[in-house]
Chain A
Amino acid sequence: MNSKGGFTIQRMLFGAVLLAILLVTPHLLSFHHKDLLIFLTINVLAVCSYRLVTLTGEWSLIHAVMMGVGAYTVALSVNHFELAIWFTLPLAGVAAGLVAALLCFPLLRMTQFYFLIGSFAAGEAIRLTWVEFVGVFGGTSGLRGVEAPIVWGIDFLDPIPYYYFSLCVVTICLIILYRIEHSRVGLTLHAIHWKAPLAESVGVDAWRYRALAFILGSFFAGIAGGLKVQYLGSVTPNQFTIGFMVFILIWVIVGGYNKFYGPIIGVVVLTIFDESIRSFEIMRPAIYGGMLILSILFLPLGLESIPAKLKFWFGSGTSPDEPPLSDQ
């Protein structure tokens, strides 16, 4: 539609470099960092699926728990039916999507802060179910022994094959999420965010689209949770507390939620940053927190807005805090 065509070669080059980095990185890392890389890959899916939920303008606090629903689904299906990873992951997504679909009825009667608090309460209710129903969910110590088995000669207990596997799964999910956002469905979600009554006046059922975003976002959160538990081999209620939810929020906000790739930048940069200050020991949370405050103060649109800001300071561009001008 606009003059992006001229950049094709540049884009292909960028893609090739990115692919090379993604493929080579695990071989250069220590065992501990390989683990971290896998969790980072999974967290990329967590933040991108969360962004889909926020497209309609509603921010939930249940996304981490939806990952947990996926994780417990995988754990139960492995423990009881010994299902292979090809089946458990889609099942994790479907389970989280179904739970989200049921929760739509009470939760989507609310908007804004009420939705935020309502989703938090619903999430805690689900999480406490895992704690209290010890017979089924194993209580606070959770469920164990759900490592991904060796499939087709691929040993998923080894971090490198598992990393490649999760990279494939996450990439497929990201492509789907990207296509949804850039389709008519995505346009309708944006429209509901900016002016719900106007969208309704031309026939958009805002409630259904909010529900759709919530269910789809939860579906992909479930897959992320499933990926996590198949690598860790165990699942506990403590992995999906409000604490982890706050991390998802921070990654999305610091990265910038206006663009598809913003949250990805957020989770990658903050994970690397957090790891690089590991040697500061007890000062680590303070440094991390300080950096968050600085980035939110000076980059309210997120890390994603840095290139536009630089362009503004060094010449031609428009202020990134204003809506950008179109190509014309």
Chain B
Amino acid sequence: MSILEMNNVTKQFGGLMALDDVSFQIDEGEIRGLIGPNGAGKSTMFKNIAGFYKPTSGSIVYRGVNLEGKQPHTIAEMGIVRTFQETTLFQELSVFENALVGAHIKSRSNVFSAVLGLDRLKQQAASEKVMDVLEFMGLTERKDQLASELPLGSQRALALAIALVSEPRMMLMDEPFAGMNAEETNHMMGLTRKVRESGITIVLVEHDMKAVMGLCNYLTVLNFGKLLAEGTPDEIRNNDRVIEAYLGGV
């Protein structure tokens, strides 16, 4: 059953066609790889899904609901959470506080209960949830450290933790493996599989082909804003048009 449908999505920046009439579907529970050479429109696609951009035309339908005109925070509340390229964290907050921001949807506080301490039970539940996720991500010992002090691998794990605390149904991961060494990549692949096993659909934009081929059961290839090919990792690896687009680089 498809959880997300892209119907003829087009995104134009002035004269540049960042996305040109792209349609595909993502099934519930899969890890979908979204790949393509630089400038193919992968990140633009993510930003359109997460509500940071509005498509010029076409529609994006999530679980039967058209996302047109919805703000990023509304889309997050509906269950789609994105992670960012590079290490986008609240660098000046502790690991625990970073993850706690992720609990916003489930346990946000209002000023009155914050001042009077009326929602202690809810906040306790949020703390427990955060600790569970930090444990899951192997960050328990680092919970009081500032995010900026973490090594790269842990920073990426924390970015995942923030997203996971919000209990999404679908996660858009933007280049989570960039800049990682082999060991870190393996660790992150393990974490990503664990996330998927917990029932979350994952869409992965990534240049690290080893990670993509190892993780994804189905790939969507974009090139110059157009849909180039779709298929299993093996089919994509042997697809002539894909090989040509990457100049034999797969």
Q: Do A and B bind each other?
A: yes
A residues apposed to B, CB below 8 Å: 1-2, 176, 179-180, 183-188, 190-191, 194-195, 197-206, 212, 216, 323, 325-328
Bound CA span A184–B52, Å: 25
Is B107 in the interface zone, CB < 8 Å from A? yes
Bound CA span A37–B145, Å: 41
In the complex the two chains form, is A183's CB within 8 Å of B73's CB? no
With A197-B72, A200-B72, A200-B73 as known contacts, state yes or no: A188 contacts B114, CB within 8 Å. no
B144: chain A residues at CB < 8 Å are 1-2, 326-328
Bound CA span A199–B50, Å: 13
Q: What 8 pairs across the A-B complex have the smallest Cβ distances?
A: A183-B114, A203-B76, A184-B109, A203-B105, A200-B72, A202-B166, A191-B101, A194-B90
With A201-B81, A202-B102, A328-B144 as known contacts, state yes or no: A191 contacts B93, CB within 8 Å. yes
With A185-B109, A198-B88, A203-B76 as known contacts, state yes or no: A179 contacts B101, CB within 8 Å. no
In the complex the two chains form, is B102's CB within 8 Å of A326's CB? no
Contact partner of A198 (CB less than 8 A), chosen from B90, B100, B108, is B90
Is B115 in the interface zone, CB < 8 Å from A? yes
Contact partner of B90 (CB less than 8 A), chosen from A190, A203, A205, is A190
In the complex the two chains form, is B89's CB within 8 Å of A195's CB? yes
Closest-CB distance, A169 to chain B (whole angstroms): 16
Question: What would be 28 A-B contacts, judged by CB atoms less than 8 Å apart?
Answer: A2-B144, A179-B115, A180-B115, A184-B109, A185-B110, A185-B114, A187-B97, A187-B100, A188-B101, A190-B90, A190-B93, A191-B93, A194-B90, A195-B90, A197-B52, A198-B101, A200-B71, A201-B72, A201-B81, A201-B83, A201-B84, A201-B163, A202-B102, A202-B163, A203-B76, A204-B101, A323-B148, A326-B144
Is B77 in the interface zone, CB < 8 Å from A? yes
Is B187 in the interface zone, CB < 8 Å from A? no
B82: chain A residues at CB < 8 Å are 201
B165: chain A residues at CB < 8 Å are 202
A327: chain B residues at CB < 8 Å are 144
Is B7 in the interface zone, CB < 8 Å from A? no
In the complex the two chains form, is A188's CB within 8 Å of B76's CB? no
B108: chain A residues at CB < 8 Å are 184, 188
Closest-CB distance, B137 to chain A (whole angstroms): 15
Bound CA span A184–B113, Å: 10
A216: chain B residues at CB < 8 Å are 111
Closest-CB distance, B131 to chain A (whole angstroms): 12
In the complex the two chains form, is B104's CB within 8 Å of A203's CB? yes
Closest-CB distance, A209 to chain B (whole angstroms): 10
In the complex the two chains form, is B72's CB within 8 Å of A187's CB? no
Contacts between the two chains (Cβ within 8 Å), count: 108
B81: chain A residues at CB < 8 Å are 201-203
B126: chain A residues at CB < 8 Å are 184
In the complex the two chains form, is A204's CB within 8 Å of B104's CB? yes
In the complex the two chains form, is A202's CB within 8 Å of B105's CB? yes
Nearest CB to that of B123 among chain A residues? Answer: A184
A200: chain B residues at CB < 8 Å are 71-73, 76
Is B232 in the interface zone, CB < 8 Å from A? no
Nearest CB to that of A190 among chain B residues? Answer: B93
A202: chain B residues at CB < 8 Å are 76, 81, 101-102, 104-105, 162-163, 165-166
Is B149 in the interface zone, CB < 8 Å from A? yes
Nearest CB to that of A181 among chain B residues? Answer: B114
Bound CA span A197–B146, Å: 20
Closest-CB distance, B127 to chain A (whole angstroms): 10
Max chain A CB contacts within 10 Å: which of B73, B89, B92, B94?
A: B73
B110: chain A residues at CB < 8 Å are 185
Contact partner of B114 (CB less than 8 A), chosen from A184, A191, A201, is A184
Closest-CB distance, A260 to chain B (whole angstroms): 15
In the complex the two chains form, is B114's CB within 8 Å of A195's CB? no
Closest-CB distance, A210 to chain B (whole angstroms): 13
A325: chain B residues at CB < 8 Å are 146, 149
Closest-CB distance, B194 to chain A (whole angstroms): 19
Is B91 in the interface zone, CB < 8 Å from A? yes
Closest-CB distance, B134 to chain A (whole angstroms): 14
Bound CA span A1–B138, Å: 20
In the complex the two chains form, is A326's CB within 8 Å of B72's CB? no
Bound CA span A205–B70, Å: 12
B148: chain A residues at CB < 8 Å are 323
